[in-house]
A and B are shown apart, each in its own frame.
Chain A
Amino acid sequence: MPSDPPGESPELPDELARLPHGRHGLPPEFVERNQRQRLLASLVRALADSGYNAATITGIAEGAGVTTRTFYKYFDSVEACYLSAFDTGAELLGERLVEAWATEEDWPARVRSALAAALDFFAGAPELASLLLTEPFVAGPDVAARYRAELARLVPYLREGRVLSPEGPSFPETTERGLIGSLASRIGRKVTAGEAAELPSLLADLTQFTLTPYLGVQAAKKAAAKRSR
């Protein structure tokens, strides 16, 4: 997704002035700056307040302090606006994951580190967590397909672990997709239950679950408990 050039000023500075500031937990990509980002931020709030089904163009525009006409300048539907927010959020998360992955050298430690980063990310921005993890299913198959494609991008990282198991080469093709889908579902359920803040406490269990097929129960448990550097 092309990012907005810095300094691209909204045409309606008086509306910008009325913008609510510093929404808790939302990364800067979702905070004001320009009309487009304000619309995305407004969408995220609307989803958090009443879910995808209740989101309307009028509501999103109002929340961003712009007219529906302005909305249509950037997006032609709620779904388009949603997808843009989804992509922005997924990109942010992806950056954090890659960063966390690179801080470690051993594969098990890398998995743990990336999982820790994901859990912290979602715990710090529950609204974004539900946008990324639960709303895609509400929004329908087209959006779910995008979610599925994002998860698939993580597969190669996990697949690296196959070399650590003698049976690795014969694991079913679907193994990594199943593991990643499972992690996302479990995290999503916590978020839906309003327990996003507790996500970091799942780190050891989720790491162990992910590593076990590759390392076996005991070694996975050890690797999951290891503190990162």
Chain B
Amino acid sequence: MTAFLALLRRDLVVASRNVGPLLMATLTQPVLVVLVFGNILPRLHLVADEFRTVMVPGLMSITMLMAGVQGVLMPLATDLSGSREVDERLLAPISVLGVAIQKVVAGAIHAAVAGLVALPAMMLLMHRVTGVEVHPRWGALLPLVVASGLLSAAFGLTLGTRVQPRFSGLLFAVVLGPLMLFGCAYYPWAALKVLGPVQYVFLVNPLVFMSEAMRVAVTPDVPHMPLPLLIGGLLAFMALFTILGARSFEKRTVF
């Protein structure tokens, strides 16, 4: 446990030294989307006012997904590079699984902080904009943010250990892009009922559960996924990606 906490501390200290660039990377996207879709387009009457309420939790979940994935993927690229910085971690008195889980926890903290910074930033931008119904339920928000953070970071571990760094551009275009568009970030899952059974196809996308989780926590008045399905989905994807990621991490580090 000592080694686990020390490694986590090291990651958080290094991250805190780069807090400026990290915040920029985290906030640029949601802030600009809010400006365009939450401010300009409604004024031009090109989108309905309700869209503002719908997109806030969705943007939170996208922010967390990106932060969690990048929070693991980027350091992992250095770790597994030719210089093998990861070997020092593996030589610390901690198991290989311990090192993998520490990576996920560090990425999850990264993601949770990103989500919790993005929410007030967006609320501030839309302050006094009519038709916005954002009422965070903090008691539900914190555990759901933590779960979403762990899910994103475990996903990052899976991608980072299975995709070569030179394909990371492709990864963002081909994997993360579609996930975001079909992740119920810009529309509630419940509303997809109009698509018939296709609604359930969306459930293969882990981001759907994160978006719905934020919807439950931040805009409880918007219709959302039933809680058992929501929590079950979050936990199942978290477990799946942690297992897949830890397994490939071991394959990449111990020969």
A, B bound: no
